[in-house]
Structure 1
Amino acid sequence: MISRSICACSIKLRTIYPFFNRSTGYHSITSLDSCRKPDPLDLRNHKDWLSPTEATKIFETLKDPNSTLNVLDQLSNRKDYKPTEALYTSVINSLSKANNFDGIEQVMKRIKREKACRLSDEFFYNVIRVYGLGAGRINRVIETLFDMPGYSCWPTAKTFNFVLNLLVNTKNFDVIHEVYMSAGRLGVEIDVCCLNIMIKGLCKNGDVDAARQVFDEMPKQGCKPNVRTFSALMRGLCEVDRVNEAFSLLGKMETEGVEPDTILMNILISGLRKNGQVEESIELFNTMLLKGCEPVTSTYQEVLYALLDSRRYTEAMNLARKMSSKKMVISFSSYKLMISGFCEENLVGEIDSVLKQMIEDGFVPKLAMWKQILQCILSEKTTFEKLSLKINKICY
């Protein structure tokens, strides 16, 4: 009876725990381990054959991007290792997530050494973006661009122009010309976008005359200036107080059949205002409206400042109301200038209107502003009782 019970118990245990050992009474550890899921970071536990897509998926799903190089080393020791552009891209992106930019340099050397597959310009564009925007390694950006032919790949205008624009935005003006002159040996054809970037860079570097020279020679390069070309040059001219020269380019735009856009108009309106040509800036704004070029908040704000500069406070208030009706936020300094102007002219009613609009837009008058308003009201011989009622009316 006892023997049968033990036997039945043993069968039951084997049913519930298939790895139960009758002789020892313990589970078989080896058997249990065989049921565990393989460690995704240990490629020895993976099946005998990994397709390129499966290999790429490993890096795309890595929970710890710091293990990227370790996993790549394991993968490269397998017989089924067959790297593709997609695999390399996933490795680069994974290292980028870990901010392991030295690791990316190691991978790039491995790629050149392996020569396992052809890489496209899109791959290098991604690497350059990572170096430039992620790591801020401008030298590596330039080196990667120049080294592309060593990988049997030639940059497109898109990649070349991205590098140029990055150099302009990071103010690396000393190497821009060198990169620009490399276009020929890299097989890149200069286009309008490239010349626009050069004009922007020269203007930012304060060499507006050189920018104008590039602009004038564009037809020789077989390129026709577009609205971005004019905008870049006009901005540069306005910044060095050559506003009239910038304004005169509007005529050339018309000749070239180039329609001005909001950005260009903003540049000119701002330049004219800062140059003291208030009437011209307002006139340009009205012309802009007539031509159907819809102004944005910054356009209205520049015109508002122009009206305030010329002490045309009532017109400024009317424009501010129009802006509010269009759900545009007016700057606090604009309200401050309007109130100051109306106080100087002792126009209490207008002050009341501006204050209400200001509070509706979420601005709170500061102590100095209240002091100025009170002085204006008191100068009108208003009784303190009326003054208190006025303040309560404004605030509540």
Structure 2
Amino acid sequence: MNKLVPRAMYYFHSVDRRNLGISKHFIPSLSKIKYGPVDDSYWLRRLDHKDWLAPNEVLKIFTNIRHPDLLTGAFEKVTTRMDYKPSEALYSLIIDKLAYARRFNEVEDLLKRAKNENCRLSDEFFYRLIKMYGNVANHPEKAIETLRNMPSFHCWPSVKTFNYVLNMLVCTRQYEIVHEIYMSASKLGITVDTCCFNILIKGLCQLNRLDAAFALLHELPKQGLEPNATTYSTLMHSLCKNGRLDEAFEVYKRMENEGIDLDTVTFNVLISGLCRQGRVDEGLNLLKEMKLKGCYPNSGTYEALLCGFLGKKQFVKAKDFMEFMISQGSKPSFSSYKLIIEGLCSEDSLDDAYSVLKQMVEHGFVPRMGTWKKILTCMF
């Protein structure tokens, strides 16, 4: 593994699913569960049924139990039946509901039980669990612990699960732990991919260590990997943020020379960089080039150009561009409407301001008191 570790990583120092007989898509998300007219006691009584309970029937019972207080007791009851052995699908369903109720101590107890009973759990199960710890519980330490403990459940993490943890740490700016987790890849049986390097490059860009980020870019071919549009877009975004727009365009030309497919994100990064420097006309030219290359603008593209006009206080041009933006099926943001109206009022362009106000209401936005004050001041 040491041969696979890029030298640039040292910059961080400073800072087999079991066949269950059911579809893997059977378990609904909690937001889509529809309960019937019966109460929990009805479903709990079903667990006392003397006839054989099919796995799908058990899942249906636990899906319809509403109160998390009853889940653990119901699980104990079903484990005493001779005709049923808890499966990954059941563990996944119960853990989802307990996590939704933020009962993570009970989640831990269930995991210990699954381990003691040698229940086969898949990488997808642990991926969902790690996401719960990261997103719902806001507990990245438990997410890391779960990743490291996967082999003890006879399950090796996929690169997707590994990269999720890596990205979570970069997003929370825990850079020293990023390096530690990356170094554990070989122990976890992980072969790093381009996505993994993209995450590391993003972390270095957040640290404004662009030289180290480019050093990591040069390591990719040595590992038998190729950079993609995300790799370059991340670097370009950091260059633009630091005012190094010419270098960002050099990266753009390099992408073209290497035959990498340009995407909307790539162009949005450059257009935003141009507009931040007041070079809106160049941004409009890049918009045309973008379309010629088969990339379709999105709301972010148009919003960046609109903000460029607003930044230069060209409010009439902003109004005209907003109308073009709407004709292309993209809706301006609330703040853009507000700034255009206030800017037009400051120039005593009441008719234009009223036109924008009308469009704002038609698109479902409600003007606030400050906007009305600007209009009334302009009128009187």
TM-score, normalization by structure 2: 0.76
Paired residue total: 329
* Map 1:24-103 → 2, pairs under 5 A: 40-41=43-44, 45-47=48-50, 49-103=52-106
Please tell me whether the aligned partners of residues 299 and 331 of structure 2 are also in contact (alpha carbons under 8 angstroms): yes
Pairwise mapping of residues 288-299 of structure 1 onto structure 2 (< 5 A)?
Answer: 288-299=290-301
Which whole-Å CA distance do the structure 2 matches of 1:320 and 1:60 have between them?
Answer: 48
Does 79-88 or 307-316 show the bigger shift?
A: 307-316
1:225 Cα deviation from its structure 2 partner = 1.4
Counterpart CA distance in 1 for 2:47 and 2:318 is 75
Matched, 1:204 2:210: no
CA deviations on 1:282-319 (whole Å, 9 max, x unpaired) are 33233223334222233223223334545656644442
Q: Say which SS state the counterpart of residue 362 (structure 1) adopts.
A: helix
Aligned to 1:142: 144
Partners of 1:263 and 1:95 in 2: CA distance:
37
Matches within 5 A, 1:1-396: 40-41=43-44, 45-47=48-50, 49-115=52-118, 117-310=119-312, 315-330=317-332, 331=336, 332-338=338-344, 340=346, 343=347, 351=349, 354-362=352-360, 366-368=372-374, 371=377
Please tell me the root mean square deviation across aligned C-alpha atoms, in Å.
2.9
Pair member with larger Rg:
1
| Greater relative contact order, per chain length (Cα 8 Å cut-off, separation 6+) | 2
Is the CA contact 2:169–2:175 (under 8 Å) kept in the aligned structure 1? Answer: yes
CA–CA separation in structure 2 for the residues paired with 1:140 and 1:110:
17
> Within 2, Cα distance between the matches of 1:101 and 1:309?
48
How many Å apart are 1:44 and its aligned residue?
8.0
Which residue number in structure 2 is paired with residue 9 of structure 1? Answer: none
Q: Are the structure 2 counterparts of residues 97 and 66 from structure 1 closer, same or farther at C-alpha, using a change threshold of 3 Å?
A: farther
- 8 Å contact kept, 1:161–1:194: yes
Post-superposition shift, 1:328?
Answer: 3.7
Check conservation: 2:340, 2:353, Cα contact below 8 A: no
Give, as a single letter, the amino acid of the residue that structure 2 aligns with 1:236: S
Shift of the alpha carbon at 1:280?
Answer: 3.3
Query: Deviation of residue 97 (structure 1)?
Result: 3.4
Aligned equivalents of 2:218, 2:378: Cα separation in 1:
53
CA shift in 2, pair 1:54/1:305, >3 Å:
closer
In structure 2, distance between residues paired with 1:123 and 1:275: 47
Shift in Å, 1:250: 0.8
CA 225–335 in structure 1, closer or farther in 2 if over 3 Å, else same:
farther
Task: State the Cα distance separating 1:142 from its structure 2 match.
Answer: 0.5
- CA deviation after TM superposition for structure 1 residue 144, in Å: 0.6
TM-score, length-scaled by structure 1:
0.73
5+ residue gaps, structure 1: 1-36, 375-396
Of stretches 155-164 and 323-332 in structure 1, the one that deviates more from structure 2 is 323-332
SS in 1 for 2:44: coil
Tell me how far apart the structure 2 counterparts of residues 158 and 201 of structure 1 sit (CA, whole Å): 18
Deviations, residues 152-210 of structure 1 (Å, cap 9, x unaligned): 11011111122222223333333112112211111111112222222222223333332
State the identity %: 40
Whole-angstrom distance in 2 between the partners of 1:55 and 1:367:
61
Q: Distance in 2 between matches of 1:312 and 1:86?
A: 58
State the distance in 2 between where 1:38 and 1:295 align: 54
Distance in 2 between residues matched to 1:306 and 1:317, nearest whole Å: 12
